[in-house]
Amino acid sequence: MSAPTVFLDGEPVSFDGPLPESAQQLFGLLAEALEPSGKCLTAFSVDGTDYTQQPWPERGVPYARVLASSQRQEALMLDLIEQALPKVEAAEEGAQVLGVDVLSREWAYAQASAKAWGEQLAPVIELLEVLVKSIDAWGLTIQAALVKQLEEASQGLDSYMRAMETMDGGRLAEQARFTWQPWCARLRQSLVGPFQQELKHRLA
């Protein structure tokens, strides 16, 4: 039986000692080896199954051929920002429209509009959570503005949901225009400001 083969970024990986017994151990070993260079694993295919896209099973996974890819942490962060920006802009525009709809339409329509906008906002907050966690985990400078906005989002969502439950159209309109639209605008400015430029500079 031939020995397992491991490739990282298209190059074969050699080991000084014995090969790790399981794919999980191999993943940990490669991730640890990449840390000093500021990289992390972005793909880890074990015999055709990418375990960066699904959880590991409890038992050890045997392997014959592993194809792994890595990327600089700054590049991953920029990718997250590029994913977030269109969603932030859409949520900002949606908040402006919602602020008018809930006061000018029947409640049934306004409620549906408010629910749809909440679903539009959810992925924005999820991406913001990932950004904040990634900044912390990768040892990059924590952006206080992003952390603060995540806290504001948590508090604002509670108030938003209460307004929906109590069918308070005035409160919903106020939330949309004076809380969420400015919140989205500040987040957009944070993402395209010095933080993004610093990441690009570090990659240059």
User: Tokens standing for 169?
Assistant: 């159209």
pLDDT above 90 for 140? no
What token pair was written down for 158? 């509670």
CA separation for the pair 11, 16 (Å, rounded): 16
- The stretches of 13-141 forming alpha helices (DSSP H) are 23-34, 73-104, 107-137
Q: Is 202 exposed, middle or buried (0-12, 13-18, 19+ CB in 10 A)?
A: middle
What does the CA dihedral 42, 47, 49, 51 come to, rounded to 10 degrees?
Answer: -40
- pLDDT 10s digits, 15-65: 888 889 999 999 999 999 998 888 889 999 999 999 987 888 888 999 999
Residues 6 or more apart whose Cβ sits within 8 Å of residue 55: none
- The CATH fold assigned to 5-73 is Ubiquitin-like (UB roll) (3.10.20)
What are 90-136's pLDDT values in tens digits? Answer: 999 999 999 888 888 888 888 888 889 999 999 999 888 888 887 77
Q: What is the pLDDT of residues 150-202, one digit of tens each?
A: 999 988 888 888 888 888 888 889 999 999 999 999 999 888 877 788 788 87
Torsion of CA 138, 124, 178, 107, to 10 degrees: -160
Cβ–Cβ under 8 Å, residues 7 and 68: yes
